[in-house]
């Protein structure tokens, strides 16, 4: 077996970066890729957390991501999400490259969000509200800045210390952010929720009625960051119908509450086809719900591998 290339976090985020990752997602969908053809991820419950196995195959490449989620890890100065990603040649299944699974998850999740935001008619200089103060919050601020020029960034977090750390880290990169207030939330053009919350973070009356919302924090049927009142007022965009009806609690519970019908859900691949170019209504709330899918990891990591190998 030939040597397997290890791709470092520095190479992923600096040498490859958000802009190329965002482009990789958009280009694949524009070529007509159907997320419904992706392989399902599986979940394994362990005594102290959960394991996820995420397989995918696209063209010349196949991939497997193994990650674990341990909710108590931060109390022990350990990452909540840990794992590894392996890339293979799809014809021979020869291992080609690996990277840190949690790092790829960060890059992938935030880049997919940004790719979708490009289709949801977000203001060029939006007032941005971020819920969460962990790695995904930072990643989403950076991915949003790769495609837009936020006029203001407000951070909403339960933990004042982690919020202050995030704001300080952003300041070191020349990015100004402030602690969020109710007035800032109401004025926000773009809201990103990247939390471990299991109950809605805000109500319909607390947000602008033309806001764009991206919810990325949950992937369980009984957990949601966005409530049924918001979903009922919104155009709702999902990664893929089957995956969303299995894992997207924000959507599943809204359907159970009769706030939205399954038929009203819009799959994001439709946004990348010419026939749906005018389907986005900027006079309404646009809500994108992500649970994460295996094809997204493969689309980005295969492109990173090809780029760094060149």
CB 136 within 8 A of CB 110: yes
- Compute the distance between CA of residue 178 and CA of residue 171 in angstroms, rounded to an integer: 10
Question: Mean pLDDT over residues 212-224, rounded?
Answer: 92
pLDDT at 310 over 90: no
Q: Break the chain into its structural domains and give their ranges.
A: 5-105+295-309, 113-293
pLDDT at 279 over 90: no
Map residue 81 onto helix, strand or coil: strand
pLDDT at 244 over 70: yes
pTM, whole model, 2 decimals? 0.93
pLDDT at 277 over 60: no
- Compute the distance between CA of residue 224 and CA of residue 35 in angstroms, rounded to an integer: 22
Comparing CA positions, the residue from 76, 186, 179, 83 lying closest to residue 127 is 186
CB 204 within 8 A of CB 178: no
Angle at 43 between CA 39 and CA 48, to 5 degrees: 155
- Helix 135-147 and helix 160-172, axial crossing angle in degrees, nearest 10: 40
Per cent of the chain over pLDDT 70 is 98
234: its two tokens: 């919104």
Q: Please, what is the average pLDDT of the chain? A: 94
For domain 113-293, the question of CATH label 3.40.50.20 is answered with: no
Question: Mean pLDDT over residues 36-62, rounded?
Answer: 94
CATH number listed for the domain at residues 5-105+295-309: 3.30.1780.10
């Amino acid at each position: 077996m030939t040597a397997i290339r290890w791709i470092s976090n520095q190479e992923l985020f600096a040498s490859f970066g958000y802009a190329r990752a965002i482009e990789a997602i958009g280009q694949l969908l524009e070529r007509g890729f159907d997320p419904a053809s992706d392989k399902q991820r599986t979940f394994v419950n362990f005594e102290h957390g959960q394991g996820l196995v995420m397989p995918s195959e696209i063209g010349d490449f196949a991939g497997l991501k193994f990650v674990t989620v341990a909710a108590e890890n931060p109390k022990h100065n350990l990452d909540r999400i840990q794992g590894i990603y392996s890339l293979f040649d799809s014809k021979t299944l020869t291992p080609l490259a690996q990277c840190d699974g949690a790092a790829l998850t960060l890059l992938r999740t935030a880049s997919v969000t940004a790719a979708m935001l490009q289709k949801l008619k977000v203001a060029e200089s939006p007032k941005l509200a971020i819920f969460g103060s962990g790695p995904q919050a930072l990643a989403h601020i950076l991915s949003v800045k790769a495609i837009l020029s936020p006029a203001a960034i407000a951070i909403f977090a339960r933990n004042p210390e982690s919020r202050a750390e995030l704001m300080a880290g952003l300041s070191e990169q020349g990015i100004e952010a402030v602690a969020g207030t109710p007035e800032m939330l109401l004025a926000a053009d773009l809201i990103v929720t990247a939390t471990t919350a299991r109950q809605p973070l805000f109500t319909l009356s607390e947000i602008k009625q033309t806001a764009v919302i991206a919810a990325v924090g949950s992937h369980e049927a009984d957990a949601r960051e966005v409530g049924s009142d918001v979903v009922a007022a919104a155009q709702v965009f999902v990664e893929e119908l089957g995956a969303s009806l299995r894992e997207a609690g924000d959507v599943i519970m809204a359907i159970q509450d009769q706030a939205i019908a399954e038929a009203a859900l819009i799959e994001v691949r439709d946004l990348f086809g010419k026939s749906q170019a005018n389907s986005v209504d900027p006079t309404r709330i646009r809500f994108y719900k992500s649970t994460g899918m295996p094809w997204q990891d493969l689309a980005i990591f295969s492109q990173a591998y090809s780029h760094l190998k060149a």
